[in-house]
Structure 1
Amino acid sequence: MDKKQMTEEDIKLRYITPAITAKWNVDHITMETKITDGKINLKGNLVFREKPKKADYVLYINVNNPIAIVEAKDNNHTVSFGLQQAMTYAQMLDVPFAYSSNGDAFYEHDFLTGQERQISLSEFPSPDELISRYQAEANGGSGLNNQQKHIISQPYYTSQTTYTPRYYQRNAVNRTVDAIAKGQQRLLLVMATGTGKTYTAFQIVYRLLKSGMKKKVLYLADRNILVDQSIQQDFAPLEKTIHKINFTKDDPITITSHEVYFSLYQQLAGNDDNDDSAPDDDPVMRFASLFQKDFFDLIIVDECHRGSAKKDSNWRKILDYFSSATQIGMTATPKETKYISNIDYFGEPIYSYSLRDGIEDGFLAPFKVINIRTNIGEGWRPYKGQLDKNGKEIEDRIYTNSDFDYNIIIEDRTYEVAREITEYMKSTDRMQKTIVFCATEEHAERMRIALTNLNSDMVQKNPDYVVRITGSDVYGKNKLDYFISVSALYPVIATTSKLLSTGADCKMTKLIVLDQMIGSMTEFKQIIGRGTRLREKEGKTHFMVMDFRNVTRLFADPDWDGPIEQDDDYGKGGTKPGGTGPVTLPGPGPDPKEKPIVDEHGCTVKVIGKTVSVYDANGKLLRQESIVDYTKSNILGTYASLDNFIQQWSAEEKKESIRDLLLERGIDLEVMKADQNMSDVDDFDFICHVAFSQKPLTRIERANNVKKRDFLSRFKGVARDVLEALLDKYMNTGIYEIEKTEILKLDPFLKFGKPSKIAQYFGGKEGYLKAIRELEKELYKVG
């Protein structure tokens, strides 16, 4: 067979695979290896995945460490044609060697030296050759030390319930343990919310413990839920060696028998919707009462953006006390300001995997934004001498989004926000997990009441349909585990202020409502991160952000998922922070002792505009759309006029092709009809209604019109009975089903005989098809 006529698969089978397996054991080769899951796209009202990135061949030193990528092409391409694709995959997988081949030879790119060369099929390097070259060039040419060689051989933890690390998690683990083996003492890992930071930390700890490089590990977190989630989920394989520190109960003698220690010290980090108690003594003294300075040789700081990098923080005092230990900071959102710098303490990130990366790879959920404007959003001013609900005069000034619920309470605004949330959920899914971020805990309570009253039918079924979950609300905090559970239905809606902005693993959150001013890019990213987890099996492929305070303008800020840069003024401004992060929005003024309360008579609030926006992974605005407008513009772009559409619909032998054309453009007519309670309407009528403002007829009305015009009298006997049955089918299922001859194999047509026999009642197959065309023409007749 001519090589030029062979497919890529033939070239792989006959030339490339034999050349590789001649020197490589098949246990060290994977083929068609999926690297990403494929980006999820939001197009119109459709959600679909792009094809995942797959490498033709991945070659491994061992189960942990890929060392080479090979991309294959057919023989109509040059030897090096696939090299750039191989290099892209190699960079993603942290692999030092990339190859391409068309079956004639291999082309090699060596990332260690930057050189490229062509080699024959028989010259493809063996595992020992690549390992030798890698070890010789590693560490700037100094090679691998014994600890690095030892740690490379340590496997990941695997089991039936623990998934194999994704490529970026493996990169993070490999880079971290490699750097520790080289003696690096401070490390920073930056991984977006939902990408598995805790799982990555577990694999790092597991490999370091099993290699013997580390023996005592301290895992620091500032929220009880973070500690418990970690112990019960990702760190469960080490449960026999884990201990959760309790400063009041632990014995300094017996506590030393464990390997992995979790410390909850939310009381050291200030009262920020955190759990339990306030500081009662010096944090270093508490740790010193249980542990010597050199007891731990590895410390992991989860969510290290929350204060560990502040020079005067209690976090920092603990890290300074255990200064001899290797310390790893993990965060989704590093803080780099005049007063706080993760980079200054931990160093430049050893590995970063951003929200943008996660969405592009299809591991994180994309999102749409509904920006809602009210008549008072740009400002409200009381009339002269206006009194609030309690009879007190309201200060005469212009109140804006920065004031509402912070400095003044507009009751009708709370109601209007709650009404919009309710209407959206009614039109989509009333059981979708929803977080409403409110200005204060008191605002969260008012919002809970408003949502409860607007959803009383759902609350009647379960009183936990709406729950306030805030730091001071004991009842709400006890419901947090149920809210974040994938299997628990209730609570459905959580109103909060700060508690759910970070840390809580809310996997099924489909709607995030922003009704608070957000003071920093760090907090903004954390809040958006509450929705980014994918749960496709449970029906979560994306999420919505409903913004009532124009907070999502931060997507346009250069710091949105941009590179991490240390503030040039870090360390020069004293010790007391004066800002909350790299981007500061206009915030509320000083909290007055008693906020004016304005009822609906004093200020009536109405929604005056909504914009649905779709952003790419970089936070760049792709389009602003309402699905109806999107559909209308697509239809008008295809059909010049109503007459033109009717003409093309009538001429189309299979009406399904028009539906399929719209599906390709992201328009699912069935979903749209269901959203607008028009499922009993034919697609023809729905298109005419949406695009050309025509009054729609139901399928029943169209079928009855056919019967009134006595169309059926043209046919006799069984032929007429068949057409009457087809009209009944049309009323129930629509035009597409009656166009299919397969329908004749179903009830009620079976009683008339086989399809071939039924056709005979019409004079043969052509006669039957002609009758169907005439029936369709009659169905869509005007007047």
Structure 2
Amino acid sequence: MDSKDKKQLSETDICDLFITPAIKNAGWDAIRQIRREVTLTPGPIVVRGNVSSRNKKKKKFADYVLYWEPGVPVAVVEAKDNNHTVSHGLQQGLGYAEILQVPSAFSSNGDAFAAHNKAPAPNEDIETEFALDAFLPPDQLWQRYKHYRGIADQNEKLVIQPYYEDSNSKQPRYYQVEAINRTIEAVANQQKRVLLVMATGTGKTYTTFQIIWRLWKAKQVKRVLFLADRNILVDQTLVNDFKPFGSVMTKIKNRKLDPSYEIYLGLYQAITGTGEEDKIFKNVSPDFFDMIVIDECHRGSAADDSAWREILDYFKDAIQLGLTATPKETKYVSSTDYFGKPVYTYSLKQGIEDGFLAPYKVIRIDIDKDVDGWTPPPGMTDDLGNSIENRTYTRADMDRILVLNQRTKLVAKRVMKYLLATDPYAKTIIFCEDIDHAERMRVAIVNAAGQLAIDNPKYVMRITGDSVEGKAELDNFIDPESTFPVIATTSELLTTGVDAKTCKLIVLDKTISSMTSFKQIIGRGTRIDEEFGKFFFTIMDFKKATALFRDPDFDGEPVVIYQPKEDDNPVPPDPEPEDEPEGGEIEEPTGTYKIRVSGVPVKILAERVEYLGPDGTLITESYRDFSRKQIQSEFASLDEFLQRWHSTKKKQVIIELLEEHGIVLDNLAAEVGKDYGDFDLIAHIAYDQPPLTRKERANNVKKRNYFTQYGDQARAVLNALLDKYADEGIASLENAKILKLKPFSDIGTPVEIINQVFGGKAQYETAIQELEHELFSNQSR
């Protein structure tokens, strides 16, 4: 092909005609080994106000990913059209190679290939170029991958063991693939203790299923024990992600361990206890299980003297895989001391940045008695007539030592005010100090909800460890299909493991000092559920708990400060909530005697709304400020914007471009005014131009006798189009289907109007472009 003709081809044409044939000719299988346009990340969701949109500009997708076997990527290829140089896409490809943790990245414009090798041999160049017909064969890139990942030849069979797939299987995300492969590689290298750290909502259980499936199918393990400390965690796993194991899987019940199965799921409380006769795990030999998986391993297995540890020590020769979103590192407990450094970490920050996890906005609320403190007048008694200690009570005392009934009511009213202004049926969890506080909050919400609570008594439920009725509603609360309960008040029960995908509001009226607990609580909102319109969640904080977001440890690597216990009996930290030996649920603190005082007035002193900024930190920024920055990143000046606007035939192209940045112009109109069109919204917000309404712009055109160049029927059509623009906006001008509507239908059919009134499609489109030019020329009022 002539080089001049080649430069007229699109990037897709270059791929189809040159790059794909070159890769296939090198021996790559088009069906099994080559994938085109692979989405790696969908792009982060941006939240401002009560609306959200996805920033598609930050979406990441590779033009090609090459696989040795399905699920084992080894290289990426970035394509460009022939107006770019051969190596132009190499930096971009390297970014994708970093995401996939593969050593080979290539770039091509259809003339040749540029290559980057992260695992070069001695005296071998890192970057090279070679002819189109010299692309590297699969064997060569596989050997490079094995060297880069440290995979020995004898371990190759295990590492490429296929994933579970059926017609309904979802494709694992890139980080799940990496977590699975890193774990399999660790096992292949005889590593017995393995730690995976994955943020809540990223699919730890699905990832675990694929790990077990591959090891089980490869006959590396035969019997596997999946251990959790909550019934709901076991039950969710059994019926969802682990379902393909079918008849070889069982849940350990009735304190019996039936040896006829291969995959066992159980509560550790069900297989151990304080008495020797309760330790049913000892009914089988220490080599019975080949693999133990410990879900939420930060909760118990990290402690030397925990009941979990006794089980792990008994099956000490088994592969032991710990899963957690929050590895625990304290003076007394260490996840990494036991399991070792994580083989893979996928953080909340990364998940939000990639767009797989829901971002959050924070509403910080200060109540006067929390901030200023409350000192009882001399001689004042509580509601029971008992004297009150004469001291100043602060935020830390509220609902733990001191109960101000008006404060509880204020919190409930503020929560309901938010829900009524957004979505009164948005799933909400209110975290309280203890069970007593959770019950009082339930009552206060009932009263604040009014008719909503009357219409359905399950609008709000207390879901705590001691409430049979509340726990019975837990499945309904987490079921997106079930409207009720809408609001759950709790203290400990819902902090971990509860898969409440559609939870949109988390209320913190609880003192939280533990970073582990805080991360787990925040994790209740991080799942995205597009089917049910859940793209972000809100945190309403009454106790300054979200100050922990500013702690460097919030999303950083855990620092190991664990110290083995000495004989000097150091004072231990506050105990974790204890576990019920039979029920497998958290027993929540009920609190001690509290001072209860009615009639003390309370009020909100201040509120501040903060959003996630581009760097992952919380910022106070309006939707208007965010939009200004994004528009200016695309059009640096007003002149540049005007030039692009006037030269673009279809203005919808510019609107869609801004939507990729996360800007929805309807949202801007809600702030600035719904009578303004897209042009004026952009110019006003980004460049401080005085805006004109759509109606003002249409009237200005009518005043200028612009239509005298057209015949009567054409003038009637253009006048009607101006009226449509004044009512509906720019989209009405650019969609010919509008000609089917009145008053256009009184003039003729769309075909008749275009061909007979304007003389053809080209002339009609020219008339529309000239009309738009008149609308948006810089005319004063």
Q: Do they fold alike, i.e. is TM over 0.5? A: yes
Structure 2 counterparts to residues 61-140 of structure 1, below 5 A: 61-75=68-82, 77-102=84-109, 103-111=111-119, 113=121, 116-117=125-126, 118=128, 120-121=130-131, 122-135=133-146, 139=150
Change (3 A) 1:690 1:514: farther
Change (3 A) 1:729 1:52: closer
Change (3 A) 1:547 1:718: same
Task: Find the counterpart in structure 1 of residue 44 from structure 2.
Answer: 40
Q: Which whole-Å deviations, capped at 9, do the CAs of 1:196-236 have from their partners, x for residues lacking one?
A: 11111111111111111101101100000000000000000
Task: Find the counterpart in structure 1 of residue 260 from structure 2.
Answer: 257
Residue 461, structure 1, aligned to residue 455, structure 2: yes
Native 8 Å contact 2:53 2:664 kept in 1: no
Deviation at 1:478, TM superposition (A): 0.7
Native 8 Å contact 1:519 1:580 kept in 2: no
Amino acid at match of 1:328: L
Deviation at 1:563, TM superposition (A): 1.1
Structure 2 counterparts to residues 309-328 of structure 1, below 5 A: 309-328=302-321
Residue 746, structure 1, aligned to residue 741, structure 2: yes
Is the partner of 2:245 in helix, strand or coil? helix
Amino acid at match of 1:463: P
Query: Could you tell me how far apart the structure 2 residues matched to 1:157 and 1:545 are?
Result: 37
Task: Find the counterpart in structure 1 of residue 601 from structure 2.
Answer: 603
- Comparing 76-85 with 258-267, greater Cα deviation is found at 76-85
- Comparing 386-395 with 164-173, greater Cα deviation is found at 386-395
Aligned residues: 732
Change (3 A) 1:92 1:626: closer
Change (3 A) 1:610 1:387: farther
2:387 is matched with which residue: 382, 390, 393? 393
Native 8 Å contact 1:247 1:286 kept in 2: no
Amino acid at match of 1:290: N
1:624 is matched with which residue: 620, 624, 629? 620
1:519 is matched with which residue: 513, 516, 521? 513
Is the partner of 1:464 in helix, strand or coil? coil
Query: Could you tell me how far apart the structure 1 residues matched to 2:178 and 2:661 are?
Result: 37
Native 8 Å contact 2:298 2:326 kept in 1: yes
Amino acid at match of 1:558: P
Structure 2 counterparts to residues 685-696 of structure 1, below 5 A: none
Structure 2 counterparts to residues 2-13 of structure 1, below 5 A: 2-3=2-3, 6=7, 7=9, 8-13=11-16
Task: Find the counterpart in structure 2 of residue 380 from structure 1.
Answer: 373
Query: Could you tell me how far apart the structure 2 residues matched to 1:153 and 1:611 are?
Result: 49
Residue 144, structure 1, aligned to residue 182, structure 2: no
Deviation at 1:309, TM superposition (A): 0.8
Is the partner of 1:336 in helix, strand or coil? coil
Deviation at 1:56, TM superposition (A): 2.3
Native 8 Å contact 2:40 2:61 kept in 1: yes
Is the partner of 2:612 in helix, strand or coil? strand
Is the partner of 1:219 in helix, strand or coil? strand
Query: Could you tell me how far apart the structure 2 residues matched to 1:127 and 1:735 are?
Result: 52
Is the partner of 2:742 in helix, strand or coil? coil
Native 8 Å contact 2:27 2:137 kept in 1: yes
Amino acid at match of 2:509: D
Native 8 Å contact 1:512 1:545 kept in 2: yes
Q: Which whole-Å deviations, capped at 9, do the CAs of 1:365-398 have from their partners, x for residues lacking one?
A: 1111111122223132234223333333322222
Task: Find the counterpart in structure 2 of residue 563 from structure 1.
Answer: 557
Query: Could you tell me how far apart the structure 2 residues matched to 1:657 and 1:138 are?
Result: 44
1:549 is matched with which residue: 543, 553, 563? 543
1:330 is matched with which residue: 317, 323, 334? 323
Native 8 Å contact 2:438 2:462 kept in 1: yes
Is the partner of 1:213 in helix, strand or coil? coil
Q: What TM-score results when the alignment is normalised by the length of structure 1? A: 0.80
Task: Find the counterpart in structure 2 of residue 501 from structure 1.
Answer: 495
Deviation at 1:550, TM superposition (A): 1.4
Structure 2 counterparts to residues 16-415 of structure 1, below 5 A: 16-26=19-29, 27-42=31-46, 44=48, 45-48=51-54, 49-75=56-82, 77-102=84-109, 103-111=111-119, 113=121, 116-117=125-126, 118=128, 120-121=130-131, 122-135=133-146, 139=150, 143-145=152-154, 148-248=155-255, 250=256, 255-266=258-269, 281-282=274-275, 285-385=278-378, 386-415=380-409
Change (3 A) 1:726 1:781: farther
Task: Find the counterpart in structure 2 of residue 433 from structure 1.
Answer: 427
Is the partner of 2:22 in helix, strand or coil? helix
Is the partner of 1:169 in helix, strand or coil? helix
Task: Find the counterpart in structure 1 of residue 446 from structure 2.
Answer: 452
Native 8 Å contact 2:87 2:113 kept in 1: no
Deviation at 1:758, TM superposition (A): 10
Structure 2 counterparts to residues 522-671 of structure 1, below 5 A: 522-567=516-561, 569-571=563-565, 574=569, 577-578=572-573, 593-599=592-598, 601-616=599-614, 619-621=616-618, 623-627=619-623, 670-671=666-667
Q: Which whole-Å deviations, capped at 9, do the CAs of 1:301-336 have from their partners, x for residues lacking one?
A: 000000101001111111111112111111010001
Change (3 A) 1:284 1:184: farther
Amino acid at match of 2:360: F
Query: Could you tell me how far apart the structure 1 residues matched to 2:652 and 2:684 are?
Result: 18
Residue 485, structure 1, aligned to residue 495, structure 2: no
- Comparing 280-289 with 174-183, greater Cα deviation is found at 280-289
Deviation at 1:456, TM superposition (A): 2.2
Deviation at 1:127, TM superposition (A): 1.9
Amino acid at match of 2:312: L
- Comparing 39-48 with 472-481, greater Cα deviation is found at 39-48
Q: Identity of aligned pairs, percent? A: 44
Query: Could you tell me how far apart the structure 2 residues matched to 1:541 and 1:512 are?
Result: 14
Unaligned runs of 5+ in 2: 577-588, 632-648, 687-692, 697-711
- Comparing 1-10 with 225-234, greater Cα deviation is found at 1-10
Change (3 A) 1:628 1:435: farther
Query: Could you tell me how far apart the structure 2 residues matched to 1:664 and 1:177 are?
Result: 37
Deviation at 1:173, TM superposition (A): 1.4
Structure 2 counterparts to residues 726-741 of structure 1, below 5 A: none
Q: What TM-score results when the alignment is normalised by the length of structure 2? A: 0.80
Q: Which whole-Å deviations, capped at 9, do the CAs of 1:441-486 have from their partners, x for residues lacking one?
A: 1111111111112222222332211111111111111111111112
Native 8 Å contact 1:38 1:360 kept in 2: no
Query: Could you tell me how far apart the structure 2 residues matched to 1:720 and 1:25 are?
Result: 61
Deviation at 1:341, TM superposition (A): 0.6
Task: Find the counterpart in structure 1 of residue 703 from structure 2.
Answer: none
Native 8 Å contact 2:434 2:590 kept in 1: no
Unaligned runs of 5+ in 1: 269-278, 582-589, 636-652, 692-697, 703-716
Is the partner of 1:309 in helix, strand or coil? coil
Change (3 A) 1:24 1:591: same
Query: Could you tell me how far apart the structure 1 residues matched to 2:630 and 2:187 are?
Result: 56
Amino acid at match of 1:308: S
Query: Could you tell me how far apart the structure 2 residues matched to 1:233 and 1:365 are?
Result: 22
Q: Which whole-Å deviations, capped at 9, do the CAs of 1:392-411 have from their partners, x for residues lacking one?
A: 33222222221111111111
Deviation at 1:70, TM superposition (A): 2.2
